Amino acid sequence: MSDYGTLQDRVRCKELLKLVKTPEQCVEYFKDGMNVGMSGFTPVGYPKVVPVALCDHVEKNNLQGKLKLNLFIGASIGAEVEDRMATLDMIDRRWPYQTGKELGKAINSGKIRMGDKHLSMFAQDLKFGFYTKDSGGGLDVAVIEASAITENGDIILSGAVGAANEVIDIADKIIVEINTGLPSFEGMHDIFMTDVPPYRQIIPITDAKQRIGTPWVPTDKSKIVAIVESKMPDNGRALRGTDPQAQAIADNIVDFFSAEVKAGRLPKNLLPLQSGVGSIANAVVGGLTTSPFEDLIVFTEVLQDTFLDFMDSGKCKYINCTSLSLSNEGFELWWKDFAKYKNMVLMRPQQISNNPEVIRRLGAIGMNTPLEFDIFA
């Protein structure tokens, strides 16, 4: 992929250019037992070159099990980072969500201590200091993938927000990977920082198109210790198709919505839609693409491949998410029509995208696929 501006163009706070380093030079910032936060949410927006350099260092110097980190990341990240770290015995604790095969094996065998948490609450609890209370309540190092740095030193994220804003807020040191191998995502984020009780205010979203924050993450630039250039693409999700059962479920959902509109319980353009990932979710979004409904709004966690067709069809007008959880094929389509999509998608922190307060106020229609359902409780 060709370059989209130089590192010097992307780092607009010129005093920070003196901090430009190679991935290998950043290895010195990591010590055994440290609490480390990273950006990323589903395999998008995560740092790539610094973690890989750290893995290379451990492997080359036979440090397996001798340099173990506690990892705090909004959700799963690329297998070339997380799974490799698990294989090299570099992870002690991991919060709050993961999907890596090798990581899962290490968790199930007891080698890695895994904690699960509602994703809207993870960011809050991270800021409270619950996870690192025995070592001051903060994070030692944050490794963040970014599109750019503003004139004031604030960080503009890439293809995901997740918990990156909280990670940046509580970290002692910040390493920023500027990805010049991808177009800049500047303008696609709405970063709203919540306070802790008793000072917390309402989250003032009454319309999915509403911006309530800033397009950058407020950053104390004095904490930035290194800026590293990256040109690596995201390692997208595997593409999942549909099957006759999934299609039948999708048809039933569209029929149900039609009946609710006819009965006057839903407006003609429904209410904001939330959809998960997988074959059934693909079928449902595909069904809405060919449905009679128009001017639809999505308020969800991740944007998956079928949402691209949904936007192309003209049926979907706007999407809120915290991450672009596309396949590699989906990313090709995304970049082809990036100029159009960037005006139709707004990325928010996971504390906002997954927040029950906002979801209830908007009346979002949640569509997810359980593995098993006990109707008798």
Q: Tell me phi and psi for residue 276, to 5 degrees.
A: -85, -150
The answer to whether residue 2 sits within a structural domain is: no
Specify whether 138 is located in the same domain as 260.
no
When pLDDT is averaged across residues 353-375 and rounded to a whole number, the result is: 89
Percent of the chain exceeding pLDDT 70 equals 98
pLDDT for residue 20: 99
Specify whether 264 is located in the same domain as 199.
no
Q: CB-based contacts of 222: which residues, under 8 Å, 6+ apart?
A: none
The answer to whether residue 372 sits within a structural domain is: no
Specify whether 40 is located in the same domain as 99.
yes
From the list 15, 301, 329, 357, the catalytic residue is 301
Q: Tell me phi and psi for residue 318, to 5 degrees.
A: -160, 145
Q: CB-based contacts of 213: which residues, under 8 Å, 6+ apart?
A: 190, 191, 192, 193, 348
Q: Is the pTM of this model over 0.85?
A: yes
As given in the structure block, the two tokens for residue 351 are: 């504390």
Specify whether 51 is located in the same domain as 176.
yes
pLDDT for residue 241: 72
Specify whether 89 is located in the same domain as 50.
yes
Specify whether 179 is located in the same domain as 219.
yes
Range of the domain at 151: 7-230
Per residue in 8-24, pLDDT tens?
999 999 999 999 999 99
The answer to whether residue 76 sits within a structural domain is: yes
Per residue in 304-323, pLDDT tens?
999 999 999 999 999 999 99
When pLDDT is averaged across residues 149-163 and rounded to a whole number, the result is: 99
pLDDT for residue 235: 84
Specify whether 70 is located in the same domain as 213.
yes
Q: How far apart are CA 110 and CA 167, in angstroms?
A: 26
CATH of the domain at 188: 3.40.1080.10
Specify whether 217 is located in the same domain as 248.
no
Per residue in 216-266, pLDDT tens?
999 999 999 999 999 999 987 776 677 888 899 999 999 999 999 999 999
Q: What is the DSSP letter of 14?
A: G
The number of domains in the chain is 2
Please indicate whether residue 177 is annotated as part of the active site: no
Specify whether 260 is located in the same domain as 161.
no
Q: How far apart are CA 237 and CA 245, in angstroms?
A: 22
CATH of the domain at 288: 3.30.750.70
Task: Tell me: cis bond preceding 198? Omega within 30 of 0 counts.
Answer: yes
Q: Which of 190-199, 312-321, 363-372 has the highest mean pLDDT?
A: 312-321
Specify whether 99 is located in the same domain as 188.
yes
Specify whether 41 is located in the same domain as 147.
yes
Task: Tell me: cis bond preceding 96? Omega within 30 of 0 counts.
Answer: yes
Per residue in 320-351, pLDDT tens?
999 999 999 999 999 999 999 999 999 999 99
Among the three residues 189, 208, 230, which one is the final residue of a domain in this structure? 230
When pLDDT is averaged across residues 138-144 and rounded to a whole number, the result is: 99
